[in-house]
């Protein structure tokens, strides 16, 4: 019997390793693909030469360094952050269909960012990345606060989701209203952003996002033990020594920072936060946070980069909204999940 468990452990670890290897390979492949496709095709050997040798000031050099690379990295960082934020919210609400977009958190963040952006552009002509992140963070917390207030009264999960979607609509309506009456010069910026897009990312953006997301992901990873306990339910987690009140606050803050960062830079992106954690858990065949957290981050990065590639190239030179692409892939997965859940209940 004992031997069986050790074999089982070995099998599991091999599976984790395999999944991570595949994800890493996919990550690298998509990165390369992402760099070399576009309006200007650049061959792989050219890419390597530009990246490592650095022949400056050619058009290709500028395209890669100033446009494609920051955009790719941003898609990776934010895709990972959004997926992880979804995983945390699902843990918190004990509901696999919870996510920043569905619960209206992204829209709440978007609304506050739009307001702040218009105000700042009018007054100071500039708005820093940090200001936007803080604005998005406040927006996220406001919406989550509202949802929590609501969930205290209503324990039914479907109702909670409907409430989230309604909040999302209200916030989007306010955002549209503000955008409509904004100055012409702001509109171009705001419009593209409020639909969700990775275009026009600067290295400065990348650096800020990398620092904020990097730290948050690290802290989240260190929380994997209590998150694992929480998956058994609040009462059991408490009996295992988790300080539930503090833990719940931490969970909300972490997921808000992550989704706020995404909204601040790329606008709202749909379904990524639900689909990726689900797929990753199935692939790893576990819900153990210790592997699911890094897995979800990496998986989200790959998924988001792929979607961005499609958004960029499918109808080039026209560019699709990132949400258009993530919805096409993400929504069917969510429907599939619900069907499966329904079946499991019977």
| Cα–Cα distances in angstroms (integers) from residue 303 to residues 18, 27, 208, in the given order | 18, 9, 22
Question: What six digits make up the tokens of 267?
Answer: 């606008």
Does 4 bind other proteins (CB under 8 A)? Our answer is: yes
* CB nearer other proteins, residue 244 or residue 331: 244
Tracing tokens 């730290």 back to the chain, one arrives at 215
Does 2 bind other proteins (CB under 8 A)? Our answer is: yes
- Residue ranges in 204-233 that form contacts with other proteins under rule CB under 8 A: 222, 224-225, 228-229, 231-233
Q: Which residues contact 304 (CB under 8 A, 6 or more apart)?
A: 75, 76, 78, 79, 80, 82, 83, 269, 272, 322, 326
Question: What six digits make up the tokens of 283?
Answer: 């692939």
* Minimum CB distance to other proteins, residue 222 (Å): 7
CA 74 to centroid of chain Cα atoms: 11
- Residue ranges in 161-200 that form contacts with other proteins under rule CB under 8 A: none
* Minimum CB distance to other proteins, residue 96 (Å): 7
- Residue ranges in 228-257 that form contacts with other proteins under rule CB under 8 A: 228-229, 231-233, 235-236, 238-244
Does 138 bind other proteins (CB under 8 A)? Our answer is: no
- Residue ranges in 93-122 that form contacts with other proteins under rule CB under 8 A: 94, 96
Question: What six digits make up the tokens of 148?
Answer: 């929590």
Three-state SS for 250? helix
Instruction: Tell me how many residues contact other proteins (CB under 8 A).
Output: 34
Contact letters for other proteins, residues 266-295 (x by CB under 8 A): ---------------xx--xxxx-x-----
Question: What six digits make up the tokens of 246?
Answer: 């503090």
Distance in angstroms (rounded) separating the CA atoms of residues 301 and 201 = 16
The residues binding other proteins (CB under 8 A) are 1-2, 4-6, 8-9, 94, 96, 222, 224-225, 228-229, 231-233, 235-236, 238-244, 281-282, 285-288, 290, 344
């Amino acid at each position: 019997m004992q031997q069986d468990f050790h074999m089982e452990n070995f099998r599991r670890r091999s599976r984790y390793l395999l999944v991570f290897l595949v994800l890493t390979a996919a990550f690298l492949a998509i990165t390369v693909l992402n760099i070399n496709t576009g309006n200007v095709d650049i061959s792989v050997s050219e890419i390597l030469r530009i990246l490592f040798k650095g022949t400056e000031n050619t058009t290709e050099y500028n395209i890669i360094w100033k446009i494609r690379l920051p955009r790719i990295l941003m898609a990776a960082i934010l895709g990972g952050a959004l997926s992880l934020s979804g995983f945390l919210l699902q843990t918190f609400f004990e509901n696999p269909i919870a996510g920043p977009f569905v619960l209206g958190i992204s829209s709440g963040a978007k609304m506050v960012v739009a307001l702040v952006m218009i105000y700042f552009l009018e007054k100071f002509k500039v708005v820093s990345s940090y200001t936007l992140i803080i604005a998005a963070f406040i927006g996220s917390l406001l919406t989550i606060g509202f949802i929590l207030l609501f969930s205290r009264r209503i324990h039914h999960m479907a109702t909670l989701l409907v409430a989230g979607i309604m909040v999302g609509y209200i916030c989007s309506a306010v955002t549209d209203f503000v955008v409509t009456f904004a100055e012409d010069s702001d509109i171009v910026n705001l419009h593209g952003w409020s639909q969700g897009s990775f275009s026009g990312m600067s290295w400065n953006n990348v650096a800020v996002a990398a620092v904020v997301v990097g730290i948050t992901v690290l802290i989240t990873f260190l929380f994997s033990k209590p998150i694992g306990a929480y998956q058994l339910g609040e009462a059991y987690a408490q009996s295992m020594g988790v300080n539930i009140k503090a833990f719940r606050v931490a969970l909300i803050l972490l997921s808000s920072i992550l989704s706020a960062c995404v909204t601040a830079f790329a606008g709202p992106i749909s379904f990524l936060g639900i689909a990726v954690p689900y797929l990753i858990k199935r692939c790893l065949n576990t819900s153990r946070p210790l592997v699911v957290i890094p897995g979800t981050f990496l998986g989200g990065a790959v998924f988001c980069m792929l979607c961005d590639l499609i958004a960029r190239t499918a109808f080039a030179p026209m560019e699709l909204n990132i949400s258009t692409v993530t919805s096409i892939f993400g929504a069917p997965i969510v429907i599939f999940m619900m069907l499966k859940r329904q079946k499991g209940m019977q």
